[in-house]
Amino acid sequence: MSEPLRIALAGLGTVGGGVVRLIEANAALIARRAGRPIIITAISARNRGRNRGFDTTRYAWEDDMVILGERDDVDVVVELVGGADGPALALARTTFDAGKALVTANKAMIAHHGIELATRAEAAHTALKFEAAVAGGIPVIKALKEGAAANRLHRVYGILNGTCNYILSTMEDTGRDFAAVLDEAQQKGFAESDPSFDIDGIDAAHKLAILSSIAFGTAVDFAAVTVTGIRRVLAADIAQADALGYAIRLIGMAQVSTDAHGQRRLFQRVHPHLVPRDHPLAHVDGATNAVVAEGDYVGRLLFQGAGAGDGPTASAVVADLIDIARGDIGAPFSIPAAELEHAAPADAGLRSGKAYMRFTVADRPGTLAEIAAAMRDAGVSIESLIQTGRIDVAGETRALVSLVTHDGPEAAIAEALRLLDGSPSLAEPPLVMHILAD
């Protein structure tokens, strides 16, 4: 058997610990599948003295994790620290400068600096792999890069954040409101003490930007992702959606199109959607992730599984290590970085579909007429309009009014919201959730 693949591991938290345990537990199996042993030679973490459930003294320790990339006894660096910049980015650059490969689960770093790092890896004729950065243990990146490589993909979308999916599906099952379920998610460890990265959609947006690049051969463009989180979704919205035959899920969606001038346009949005009950994503519950890819020859592909956790994410990291041990380098984004297209953002206003809109309004005569008039003047056709209940806002009773539109351009909805902007009848800005179409 060939010489071992020697790895250094930066970050010994949940995922890092999982990687160590997986490599130790399945060493013989991994060696057979990789064609050579994979061994850990050096590690680094913030707190050297912390009890991590395994013997850290068997490995060389570096207080400065960036040094891992320069060690002579290291072939591949595994970065599991996180953060778009700072030590993680410094380690990645040092690793490529030294001609070594990098495996990372850091979706923020790849979303912000992926093209730079891919260029560095290609120049060094080494590997940059990040399967664990998107959807945890689901091998969706490998599937898009390899299994669907012959297809022209035109849409990729899915449930990309387990915290949000846990909250929304629990609200659906229990009828409780957002704040109560978020508190429960934090107590169970499904949400961080500061959950904003998840519930405001940023985590899902990082993953979507990466998937878009791989699916469509475009440069990663996180800044072009439009993001709306789930903070404003009420139990009343969940109940109303259910009555209409939908489930509410936070969906990241990317799609390519060609404009009138023949230029490719890229649409990227993370946004809560109403998902029809007969769609597979409507039945994805708990902290599960699911990704749908649609290709011209393969049709619709669905990938579903655990999107986080030590075991699934460690599995994705080690799968990348096995590929490197086999000599698989390849372009990080399937196409060489210099050949990735810089597609212009698509105009969301040109998209057509149905939408759910919820208004929190003063409970007084004329309010419904004002809303209906704005919809009429903007050219929005209303399929149904329902007063769904009342809530207390700052000691005053407000009515909840929901409507579903007929199929129409998103620009018309934006115009209706503009006409209603500043209306004294509205206690807060309307909530808009688009309806997922096949």
Residue 395 above 70 pLDDT?
no
Question: Phi/psi class of residue 365: alpha, beta or left (left: φ > 0; alpha: ψ in -120 to 50)?
Answer: beta
Query: Which domains are assigned to the chain?
Result: 5-133 (3.40.50.720), 140-306 (3.30.360.10), 350-435 (3.30.70.260)
pLDDT for 49: 76
Distance between CA atoms of 181 and 175, rounded to whole angstroms? 10
Question: Active-site residue numbers?
Answer: 207
Residue 1 above 60 pLDDT?
no
pLDDT-derived band at 392, boundaries 50, 70, 90: low
Give the pTM. 0.94
Residue 363 above 90 pLDDT?
no
Q: 323-344 pLDDT, tens per residue? A: 999 999 889 999 999 999 999 9
- Percent of residues, the chain, with pLDDT higher than 70: 98
pLDDT for 385: 87
Residue 169 above 90 pLDDT?
yes
Residue 136 above 60 pLDDT?
yes
Distance between CA atoms of 95 and 390, rounded to whole angstroms? 58
Closest to 371 in 3D by CA, of 419, 338, 411: 419
User: Mean pLDDT for the chain?
Assistant: 93
Q: Which residue has the higher pLDDT, 333 or 53?
A: 333
